[in-house]
Amino acid sequence: MSEDWNAAARLVAGGLDPQDVRVDVEAYLDEDLSAERRDVTSASIFGPEHTSVVVLTARADGVLAGLPVTHVVFDAMPGDVEFTYLAGEGARIREGQQLARIAGKTRDLLAAERTALNLLCRMSGIATHTRRFADLLADWDTTVLDTRKTTPGLRALEKYAVRVGGGENKRFGLYDVAMIKDNHKEAAGSVSAAFHAVRSAEPEVDIQVEVETLEEALEAVAAGATFLLCDNMSPKELSEVVDAVGERAQLEATGTITLGSVVEYAATGVDFVSVGALTHSSPILDIGLDFEE
């Protein structure tokens, strides 16, 4: 095994639990190799003591995210692996740039290759997409957020990639923040009734209220809400909400916000814009693994 603390320290610095990542990585490897870690092709061609050096190389420009996770993937293989970082997490990388060099038994390197690249390309793609939004918002007091529209089993890693790219995570699941949506308002009878029901049952939990009109925004704030999610409002409608309640509540705009429209939404004065596409539609960043010449 290579120096686990090296990867662990980098994961902790990024807000990830190294033990959780290791458990997840083991499951990802089992999916590709089975519990026996069998790569029948490489085992047929390379002897058990054959060693190699491989290099991770960017094949497109973007933002790097997930290199410590990749380190954990190679560390999870049976043989000793030496993992050398050649680029920093969150760095803007260029096509052709070498990102890491890994030395070890050839069977292990090739068996871990696809799992490592699947994670690294996915996370770097999310970070790259997020950075484009963050760059457009650099001159505004508005932050881009992700949503719960994540890949099952990858939420922690995908939300980490958003942070690496310059975005923020407002909530991780249904357990840590209450979100009052249409069904809740309808069942309770009104925005204010739904808010009071949640506040009574969960006095310590943060509450977000989804609103679709200025009238709902006014009702929510009057009930005590301090965070409103303004759903599918036009920039003009958002400006009216900002003028009416912006001093009393944080405001998040959501609903098909794109790179082409995000500045228009930021100009309304909202505190946040949330973009589900960061995690459900970001293209991967192309990164390859090749034998070192």
Amino acid at 163: R
Verify whether residue 210 is a known catalytic residue: yes
The predicted structure's pLDDT at residue 155: 98
Q: What is the pTM of this model?
A: 0.95
21 and 103 within one domain:
yes
Are residues 87 and 145 part of one domain?
A: no
Q: pLDDT by residue for the chain (293 residues), tens digit each?
A: 445 568 999 999 999 999 999 999 999 999 999 988 889 999 999 999 999 999 999 999 999 999 999 999 999 999 999 999 999 999 999 999 999 999 999 999 999 999 999 999 999 999 999 999 999 999 999 999 999 999 999 999 999 999 999 999 989 999 999 999 999 999 999 999 999 999 999 999 999 999 999 999 999 999 999 999 999 999 999 999 999 999 999 999 999 899 999 999 999 999 999 999 999 999 999 999 999 97
Point out the catalytic residue in the list 210, 216, 219, 271.
210
| Whole-angstrom distance, CA of residue 176 vs CA of residue 205 | 7
Residues 258 and 168 in one domain: yes
- What's the total number of domains in the chain? 2
Same domain, 153 and 265: yes
- The residue from 38, 59, 94, 181 that is catalytic is 181
Residue 170 is a catalytic residue: no
Identify the CATH number of the domain in which residue 207 sits. 3.20.20.70
Indicate whether 48 and 64 sit together in one domain. Answer: yes
What is the spatial distance between Cα 170 and Cα 152, in angstroms, rounded to a whole number? 18
Instruction: Tell whether 104 and 19 lie within a shared domain.
Output: yes
Three-class SS string for 136-179? HCCCCCCEEECCCCCCCCCHHHHHHHHHHCCCECCCCCCCCEEE
Q: Are residues 72 and 152 in the same domain?
A: no
Would you state the pLDDT for residue 6?
86
Residues 74 and 157 in one domain: no
What is the predicted pLDDT for the residue at 37? 85
Q: Is residue 214 a contact partner of residue 241, using CB atoms and an 8 Å limit?
A: yes
Contact 58, 99 (CB under 8 A): yes
On whether both 170 and 113 belong to a single domain, the answer is: no
The catalytic residue among 114, 155, 199, 248 is 114
CATH code at position 92:
3.90.1170.20
pLDDT at 35: 86
71 lies in the same domain as 178: no
Can you tell me which residue has the tokens 């420009």? 61
Helix runs in the chain, H state only: 4-13, 18-33, 40-45, 67-75, 106-136, 155-164, 182-188, 191-201, 214-223, 235-245, 262-266, 277-280
Give yes or no: 243 in active site.
no
**Structural domain that includes position 98:** 4-130+282-291
- What are residue 83's DSSP bridge partners? 102
Q: Indicate whether 74 and 155 sit together in one domain.
A: no
| Two structure tokens written together for 140 | 């505004």
DSSP string, 90-123: T-EE-TT-EEEEEEEEHHHHHHHHHHHHHHHHHH
114 flagged as catalytic? yes
Whether 186 and 271 map to the same domain: the answer is yes
Residue tagged active-site, from 26, 61, 168, 231: 231
